[in-house]
Amino acid sequence: MKKGYLILIVVLIVALITILILEKSNKKDLNKYDFKIYFFNAGKADAIILSKKDKYIMIDTGEESLGEEILNYFTQNNIKKLDYLIITHFDKDHVGSASKIINNLEIGEILQSNYPKDSKYYDNYINALKNKNVEAKVISDNYEINIDDIKIVVNGPQTIYKNNESNNSSLITSITYKNKKFLFMGDAQNARIKDFLTINSETYDFLKLPYHGHYLKSLDDLFKTKAIKYAIITSALKDDKTIELLDKYNIKYYLTGKGNITLYTDGEDIIINQ
């Protein structure tokens, strides 16, 4: 009996040591992943921070209630300046905290959609720009940004859509880092997605799903032509038809509603932690 207990203890010790070694190895390996994308668990809303060394970009700001959490994240990570703030469109779940961020942080350049919206959140955003004496750049075509060896193309709508005007006005952001490509679709819906696919023939490793993962007819073409491997849905809810399509194309997906998500890449490999 004593011999059995001894063997069990040895096995448990070996297992514990193995786990500690693996954890240490994983942490050490992450050091080489110098480009990081952080997705807040913001409910059904978008709030995304991209960083490489001391350069920071934010895509959308979530709802107004998320403002303090975002500012706390900046403080904890010693972020004193955003190089770029991209507001894809002016729905409250994308621009809600923008005024708080603009008022409390230095921002190099602000890029925005070309379709304003009558709401207090839009008014707060405009007032914050005035308070800081900052003028946002309205994007209605392709706007290219280069940060070190990262290429970013922000695509703006070249037309005013008759249906779902606000969502279809979404800026779409493409990012290339070495051999990996990332696509952020805002809340683009069928007409906007169709137009984007007409002018963009690239494939992507990662997709931030449009419109919080709601099923759209254009998703099939988007998944098929873009050869997506990983996807994130900025919501806690699954749309069964969207999930069926993701499974059909063997796309590994995550939901921010299950917790904050961090994507790491060195331009060759991708690691996603939640």
pLDDT tens, residue by residue, 109-119: 999 999 999 99
pLDDT over 90, % of the chain: 88
Query: Residue 171 belongs to what domain range?
Result: 33-273
Provide the pLDDT for residue 32. 86
Asked whether residue 222 is domain-assigned, the answer is: yes
Residue 86 reports pLDDT greater than 70: yes
Nearest to 137 by CA among 107, 104, 97, 100: 107
Helices (H), the chain: 2-30, 67-76, 92-95, 98-104, 120-131, 165-168, 190-199, 219-226, 240-248
Output the six-digit token pair for 170. Answer: 């979404």
Q: Are strands 35-39 and 261-265 parallel, antiparallel or unpaired?
A: antiparallel
Q: Is residue 77 situated within a structural domain?
A: yes
pLDDT over 80 (residue 19) = no
Laid out side by side, the sheet with 81-87 consists of 137-138, 106-112, 81-87, 55-61, 47-52, 35-39, 261-265, 270-273
**Which residues are 152's β-sheet partners?**
145, 175
State the average pLDDT over residues 227-235: 97
Counting the structural domains of the chain, the total is: 1
Whether pLDDT at 16 is above 80: no
CA distance 205 to 25: 25
Q: Report pLDDT for 9.
A: 63
Name the β-bridge partners of 85. Answer: 58, 110
Q: Which of 200, 233, 236 is nearest to 215 (CA)?
A: 233
- Per-residue confidence at 22, pLDDT binned at 50, 70, 90? very low
Structural domain includes residue 22: no
Domain membership flag for residue 17: no
Give the pLDDT of residue 69. 98
Nearest to 214 by CA among 236, 185, 238: 238
pLDDT at residue 140 tops 60: yes
Q: How confident is the model at residue 106 (pLDDT cuts 50, 70, 90)?
A: very high
pLDDT of 99? 98
In terms of Cα–Cα distance, which of 201, 196, 203, 200 is closest to 181?
Answer: 203
| Average pLDDT in the chain | 92
Q: Please, are residues 168 and 157 in contact by the beta-carbon 8 Å criterion?
A: yes
Residue 24 resides in a domain: no
The residue to which tokens 């069926």 are assigned: 244
- pLDDT tens-digit readout, 143-193: 999 998 999 999 999 999 999 999 999 999 999 999 999 999 999 999 999
Which pLDDT score is estimated for 40? 98
DSSP 268: S
CATH of residue 80's domain is 3.60.15.10
